[in-house]
Structure 1
């Protein structure tokens, strides 16, 4: 019997990837052959899971749709379906602008997609996924949506209000993932630090992570996308005391000057930000902090920017990324602010921040030379095995390049002596 083939192209963040994995499981259960991100592969149906976060992401999503439309015209694809953030936000506009797409669906409309294909959504496997990551790690989404009102952000428009998942449901998913070989859980939400407040009336992040750490077989847990305002300090005790909760935290700070923090509606001051960072580092000795900053927000002056540069130099974040501000429709900025920082200035400012961070990153990496680190092997490329330390998450953080005459197993941990450093990567040898 011929099995129809579905190719899902997943764009954007790892939260989107989890949505793709949930849909893949449903499609396999419905009897389809599936592929992921096989942009040139022939398929009966292509589903594009779009991103609509900022201008560049929207442009990539639209270009991907147009490329698949071309392939449909050439007879390489039968049907094109579009889902995700861009489709959630701009469905009616997309239907007019790109009518060649067979159907558009919202961000979470798996039932609609299955029904469109003539199948039923299976509630019994609603929390099961077909992993697209290597089998030894998985992203774990503990909530949807966001209640914050940051001036620049369109995510609440697309995802709605914050919705914590039931703790028992999350823990059951953890156990299933571990049963299938997952050793590293990359815990994430749009705002980790609000977890449980809507569902239980109080913050439950520390309890959740503690119970997750109790699950036999969970070797590493990493926390992504914390928010500085209302940060639950009790999580620091869990990080300090539980060996399998990594000394790693992704906390987006965006800026440091009081005028910009107020304009951005971040709910914190510079003093509170610095106090929190110092508190985290004191409570969890040796922690690596990843943060994200924004340059070129409306109203950002050269003085504000120089203050941000000084902040980066002073705080020496181990991991840091920076975005140029993108003016998004229907946000607070769109209603009340003018996009008054020229594009070339935004670009110059983002490049300047990364120049400063490059030096800091090199200092951090140089300090690791000679140390023995526990490294998880992700893959092999040519003559090198590529792995990560507990201080690094996939895709965004430094990697360890290991040349070894011995056969190393993908998904296994090894003690590796760090022998060299680049700006953003390390080299090492297995002991």
Structure 2
């Protein structure tokens, strides 16, 4: 018998892709820990003997990163540094047969909804009573709260329904109980995530229930910030805005991916909304929630996109002056309805268009940040780096938005709220000093 097999197993989980994947990894960690199996996230000490790679299969770059990560772990196994390599997540869900053929050294592949099967590999039982119990991979003061799985939308570019299935909401009581547990663990901020937030509740309650869920979460004692990610613009339930305005601990922040601003592209993408309808919605949102921060995501290089379509996007950004914008280049995904179209925009051109659009947004972002100089904001401290503290206002989410750089002689703690007067502003970050609240 090998000496290594006498040692207690230690599992390292590597998570790629989005925050929804991170939550899945946290849930797996919680289940393993409850079964008395040692588990870590992204372990740099390399003292583990088993790896689970939670893959992303969203776009080409993400697929390549997932495959390279799997190959790296397989190489460690070949060198005798690992006993087992398991693969789960979206890439594995979508391309399981191909992966088994191409990388047979992986011990087992699992889909996105096969947590009990992964646990069987460790002779562990799935503990239903642990729903919501997670081992956080984030700093302990914030966490993601996944309110539903899957998506019923039919956007022509998107492969997510192929990997995550149709929309399934989680019951309100379950989500409130999970939020209460997170607060007990030290969490101050939760970010609500789903493939599509506004659809929440239609499957189990037969009506859109996001406003009710928000009220219930806002009642959770100790939960200081609630943030909304990934709202779909078509048939947007306006009651959400009343809740955001009324409840102090719901951030005046909305992440609403619009994907494009040209009617021909919106139609080809099957977004179920026109530019005029988006114009009206954005005006309404800002009227109902004064001072709200609007974040959106756009796609460049969709099949058939013209130079005029790109100009339409730039004009749209100048008109609405979004606070935050992210851009993806179109990825031609098999299994989607857009895959039947000719991918006629070269990759270099897709990237050049994305750069053009981001230059417009960069200027808008700089101007909006300059307006904040001299103002004071409540800031959540995230970490200390290079002798300075980094935090966020209620208008900024983790990793994708502005950070507030704070030079302070006073010791600050991650998870602490302080008031910061802004003294300098850059394209995407702010700088300031702590003042009395």
Same fold by TM-score, threshold 0.5 exceeded? yes
Q: Does the residue aligned with 2:204 lie in a helix, a strand or coil?
A: helix
| Ranges of 4+ aligned residues in structure 1 off by more than 4 Å | none
Task: For structure 2, list consecutive stretches of 5 or more residues without a partner in the other structure.
Answer: 1-5
1:375 corresponds to which of 373, 376, 379: 379
- Given that 1:19 and 1:108 are in contact with CA atoms closer than 8 Å, whether structure 2 keeps it comes out as no
Note the C-alpha offset of 1:40: 6.5
Tell me which residue corresponds to 1:91: 96
Following the alignment from structure 1 to structure 2, what is the Cα–Cα distance between the partners of residues 409 and 37?
Answer: 23
1:159 partnered with 2:164:
yes
1:292 corresponds to which of 270, 294, 297: 297
After the TM superposition, which of the residue ranges 316-325 and 66-75 deviates more from structure 2? Answer: 66-75
- Given that 1:43 and 1:78 are in contact with CA atoms closer than 8 Å, whether structure 2 keeps it comes out as no
Following the alignment from structure 1 to structure 2, what is the Cα–Cα distance between the partners of residues 43 and 211?
Answer: 40
Note the C-alpha offset of 1:2: 4.4
1:257 partnered with 2:262:
yes
1:231 corresponds to which of 222, 231, 236: 236
| Deviation digits for residues 87-127 of structure 1 (CA, Å, limit 9, x no counterpart) | 00000000000001011011121110111122211112132
Q: Does the residue aligned with 1:118 lie in a helix, a strand or coil?
A: coil
> 1:331-342 residue pairs with structure 2 within 5 A?
331-334=336-339, 336-342=340-346
- Given that 1:9 and 1:39 are in contact with CA atoms closer than 8 Å, whether structure 2 keeps it comes out as no
After the TM superposition, which of the residue ranges 228-237 and 29-38 deviates more from structure 2? Answer: 29-38
1:76 partnered with 2:81:
yes
Note the C-alpha offset of 1:54: 0.4
Tell me which residue corresponds to 2:401: 397
2:208 corresponds to which of 191, 203, 211: 203
Tell me which residue corresponds to 1:317: 322
Q: Does the residue aligned with 1:225 lie in a helix, a strand or coil?
A: coil
> 1:13-412 residue pairs with structure 2 within 5 A?
13-38=18-43, 41-334=46-339, 336-412=340-416
Note the C-alpha offset of 1:168: 0.7
Count of matched residue pairs: 430
1:414 partnered with 2:421:
no
Following the alignment from structure 2 to structure 1, what is the Cα–Cα distance between the partners of residues 8 and 192?
Answer: 35
CA distance 1:40–1:2, change in 2 (3 Å): closer
| Deviation digits for residues 116-157 of structure 1 (CA, Å, limit 9, x no counterpart) | 122211112132101111111110000000000000000000
| Deviation digits for residues 200-242 of structure 1 (CA, Å, limit 9, x no counterpart) | 1111000100111011111111000000001110000001111
Following the alignment from structure 1 to structure 2, what is the Cα–Cα distance between the partners of residues 153 and 100?
Answer: 30
* CA RMSD across the alignment: 1.0
After the TM superposition, which of the residue ranges 349-358 and 15-24 deviates more from structure 2? Answer: 349-358
Q: Under a length normalisation based on structure 1, what TM-score does the superposition of the two structures give?
A: 0.98
| Deviation digits for residues 267-290 of structure 1 (CA, Å, limit 9, x no counterpart) | 000100010011001100000100
Following the alignment from structure 1 to structure 2, what is the Cα–Cα distance between the partners of residues 35 and 143?
Answer: 25
Q: Under a length normalisation based on structure 2, what TM-score does the superposition of the two structures give?
A: 0.97
Q: Does the residue aligned with 2:49 lie in a helix, a strand or coil?
A: strand
Following the alignment from structure 2 to structure 1, what is the Cα–Cα distance between the partners of residues 42 and 305?
Answer: 38
Following the alignment from structure 1 to structure 2, what is the Cα–Cα distance between the partners of residues 19 and 4?
Answer: 21
Note the C-alpha offset of 1:348: 0.5
Task: For structure 1, list consecutive stretches of 5 or more residues without a partner in the other structure.
Answer: none
